[in-house]
Structure 1
């Protein structure tokens, strides 16, 4: 028997884009009928792919959604820019969340397509056109939008969800590493009404001081520590990265 050659590995984005770019079978009686973009409405609500700037795809998607809502208030539509929300911790302790596009340079539009909507989107600032195929003849030729199949859209939604879960999990693991490396207890620090946790300050103004942990704010990453100074207890807010559990 002749051995079958192994197919080269491709990722899901390449597979989807390859199917989108395949030329569709002819369904129209004449080339003039095929050029009539109003015939796309016969397909009903479909997902279409719009080419946009790779750097400003999310921004363009938001502007298109607002403009369509104003210009076509009676038309149902959805604008989708597949992206993973990447969360990062900044040096000042705050967090930033930025979208990472899964299809850079592409956004998805669901609507009943016709010539008016096509031209509105096609001429919108920042849009490079629709993904489709050339139709017509030497007299006249256009790039006709092609809808995305239901299976491809399901794959895109599923992959976006999985990528987001992976990103969130990776961030949580990095957060745990940061807490462990800073010397904080592996388990949650709890404050007991009868007995407070004792901590030691690792750096900063109160370096090497030992105090009683009064409060821990996990959102701001701040700990309120009580120090006995000159016979009186003083409360000080300190970054959790600067304290560690104290063992006598």
Structure 2
């Protein structure tokens, strides 16, 4: 009996182990099947022939390849012309400290460059002239300001140029009213520009009634008094004593010398 029981137990154990082996085999088969399915999801070309694998996806699926849109060529940037300045071009005058005209001129030119005012402010002018002074019978040439303390501007006046020029170091104010600068008349500006074209002028250092000595010309050595002064021509009318009488003679500035 005991041997029969042992045999039945052994059979039961062998059946149990066999069923377990079958279950393990089934699980292994399921795992293999799952892996195949996963590969088929990520590798759509699985199962295709070698020729099909080499074809583009669109041809395999039957879809026509989408035409590539050509990128539009960049349009050339159209350069917009600078806005034409509005207003009338006139000459204006700004006041500076006497002796600081050249520094103010340089500061204004720097403002024009920094603020891009080249199409609104065309010229900055400090009028000067060459003069000749006669001292001790010697000619002394020098350059002097025709309008000390002032700078001339050839410009188109608008709110921006008016503000920026006024804010420039060295500029005190525009000549004119509190609300509006006054332009220089064309006649007056023509006279100024005409004077700039002259070669040189003799500085008037003589006064009517003062004593002078003639140092050159046909009346050299005579002394007399100044009767008239013609600054434009650079000539003096001097009264000299000839034969006991005052006789007027005309001499150039450089031919006369003050009697000290």
TM-score by length of 1: 0.40
Greater per-residue strand proportion: 1
Structure with bigger RCO (C-alpha 8 Å, 6+ apart): 1
TM-score by length of 2: 0.39
Bigger-Rg structure (1/2): 2
